[in-house]
Amino acid sequence: MSALPRPTAEGASAEAASAEAIAADAVARAATDRPFLLGITGPDTSGKSRLAEAVRAEVVRAGRRCTVVHVDDFHNPRSVRYDSSLSERDAYLTRSIDTRRLVAEVLAPLRQAGSLETRLRHLDLATDTYSIEREYRVRPGDIVIVEGIFLLRDELRAHLDRVVHLHVDPQEMLDRGFRRDVPEQGPDVMRKYHEKYIPGQQEHLRAHPPREHADVIVDNTLWERPLLVPHAPHPRAVLARSDIRWIVFDLWETLVDLPRSTKDHAFAALCESLGEDPRLLRTPWQATRFARETGDVSSYLDELASLLDRSWSSTRRREALAARRAIHGREFELAAPRIVRQLGRIRDSGMGLGLVSNCSSDVRDMLDASGLTSAFDAVALSAETGVMKPDPRAFRAAMAALHAEPDATLFVGDGSDAELVGALVAGMHPVRIEVHSRVTWPGTVTASLEDLADAVVASTAA
């Protein structure tokens, strides 16, 4: 995968800079004797149409003719799309787009003849009739942008000169789907996101990993700040080409397991000590997470009691926090020997080590009691810095404590709280540790802490 310049601008100018870079790359690569086909793909709500239009405008501004082909125009009729013999996910994957028609009537002619002049009828999804007519006029030297889902499939990818993949994680898809589609399609569309679109896209990306099938990957989680994701499938590649001297780790699930059963057990113990029903306390507890994890947890309980008009005694509050801490602390005790051993291998290779975590203030006690604090050169906890990931300031606080330079620093995390995007914004090299499948990441990944340690040791021995 080749790289594009990394936009450094902020806000809308960053979005324009990304489109300008992609357009300039296409113009530079385009020949004069045939069209250049640029694919822009990604999951639903990832911003494909928006980026395609921005790139088209930049190509035209550069003096080249440009045509946009929308994959959505090649939807199958309703009778094909909604095949009752298939699950919604599988029908979405295999029946939604008439890829054979797209290839036969547009992509193959462009490849074989080097031009295209035709008028096609497309499906109107609202009426389920072929009542939309589009004219296609493409000459040698033109740039054709093909935008839509599933372009990483072999039968489509083979016809494209370059492919840009837009990444957004499932939660962002849900948020955008709610804002975009519920007003027009009603609340049932969110069921489709859960049962159809997201599972279908995850299966598509498992079968066609962007890091292997796309030329450029853009994290488009932030509309106003698209980010080019550096292509390095494994940390070995980053370590080989960059002067990495520091590694900053996430805590929960990256290093210390936090199973749902443990979280539920700890919360139930806290509620029992407070004399509260967990079912009733959970919603306000979750809604006030920022307050809990950016200050002293004892003070937080005081504020929560005031908010809920409760009169928990100081003894009850102290016992509640102790019960919760004891359960979470056992996960630290179980993980500590393995973590210390692997972090020791990394540190012995000459790396400075940091920790950045979204957590309550009592995590400091758990780190100290388990002996994990001494495994790091610097620790930045949100309860002490007042800043939570993915805010880039959280990562910068950890790097400042390490005296680390962003472009020489890896961030390793499981991807929760959009932390990989935050690390990228902060200028670090993000690496996802694949400890669960709740988060997708098209950039660098490592299977485990041991796998990362092996890569670091090997890179320093080379």
Contact 437, 250 (CB under 8 A): no
Q: b/e for 379-391, b at 16 or more Cβ within 10 A? A: bbbbbbbebbbbb
The pTM of the full predicted model, rounded to 2 decimals, is 0.75
> What distance in Å separates the CA atoms of residue 47 and residue 177, rounded to the nearest whole number?
12
> What distance in Å separates the CA atoms of residue 335 and residue 257, rounded to the nearest whole number?
8
Contact 396, 405 (CB under 8 A): no
pLDDT score for 14: 62
In the block, which residue shows the tokens 């397991």? 257
Each residue's pLDDT expressed in tens, for the chain with a length of 462 residues: 445 544 444 444 567 778 899 999 999 999 999 999 999 999 999 999 999 999 999 999 999 999 999 999 999 999 999 988 999 999 999 999 999 999 999 999 999 999 999 999 999 999 999 999 999 999 999 999 999 999 999 999 999 999 999 999 888 888 888 888 888 888 888 899 899 999 999 999 999 999 889 999 998 887 777 888 877 778 998 998 889 999 999 999 999 999 999 999 999 999 999 999 999 999 999 999 999 999 999 999 999 999 999 999 999 999 999 999 999 999 999 999 999 999 999 999 999 999 999 999 999 999 999 999 999 999 999 999 999 999 999 999 999 999 999 999 999 999 999 899 899 989 999 999 999 888 888 889 999 999 999 999 999 886
Is the Cα torsion angle 343, 334, 388, 42 positive or negative in sign? positive
In the chain, % helix, strand, coil (3-state, to 5) comes to: 50, 15, 30
pLDDT score for 227: 82
- Which residue type does 310 have? R
- In the 8-state DSSP scheme, what is residue 230? P
pLDDT score for 13: 58
Beta bridge partner(s), residue 247: 353, 410
The CB-side HSE value for 435 (13 A sphere, CA atoms) comes to 23
348-398 pLDDT, tens per residue?
A: 999 999 999 999 999 999 999 999 999 999 999 999 999 999 999 999 999
Phi, psi of 417 (to 5 degrees): 60, 30
Cβ atoms < 10 Å from Cβ of 448: 13
pLDDT score for 174: 87
- Domains identified in the chain and CATH numbers: 11-228 (3.40.50.300), 232-462 (3.40.50.1000)
202-234 pLDDT, tens per residue?
A: 999 999 999 889 999 998 887 777 888 877 778
pLDDT score for 9: 42
